[in-house]
A = this chain, B = another copy of it.
Amino acid sequence: MLKVIAEDFIKPEFVDVVLPLYRELIAATKKEPLCIAYDLYRDEKDPGHFIFIEEWPDRAALDAHCASEHFTRLVPLIDQYARKAAQYILMDGRVKLER
């Protein structure tokens, strides 16, 4: 299992421009057969700070997502309005309660 946090930093004046792009990206991604979770949140202190929390079965599924038509079309449109580069954390599994 692969968990992903992807953070976008959008110029505040363009938040209303990117929201429909994000909604299209989320709707298309949730239809990908290998997508387990793909939800977008907003930092309560910074309305231009968008945080995806994602779950994929493995790295190949994430790579297929990043190569999809909707990703390669919509992400560059969103990135036009970024105030700084996106940040990513890839996490390779949950810490289990048993040792």
Which of A's residues lie within 8 Å of B, judged by CB?
3, 5, 19-20, 22-23, 26-27, 39-45, 49-51, 53, 89-95, 97, 99
Whether the pair A44, B90 counts as a contact (CB closer than 8 A) is: yes
A92 to B46 alpha-carbon distance, docked (Å): 11
Q: How far is the CB of A31 from chain B (nearest CB, A)?
A: 12
Ranked nearest first, the 4 interchain pairs of A and B with the lowest CB-CB distance are A41-B91, A44-B92, A40-B95, A44-B90
Whether the pair A19, B95 counts as a contact (CB closer than 8 A) is: yes
Contacts of A26 in B (CB 8 A): 95, 97
Whether the pair A50, B89 counts as a contact (CB closer than 8 A) is: no
Whether the pair B51, A89 counts as a contact (CB closer than 8 A) is: yes
**A95 partner, pick from B3, B22, B91, beta carbons under 8 A:** B22
**A92 partner, pick from B19, B20, B42, B91, beta carbons under 8 A:** B42
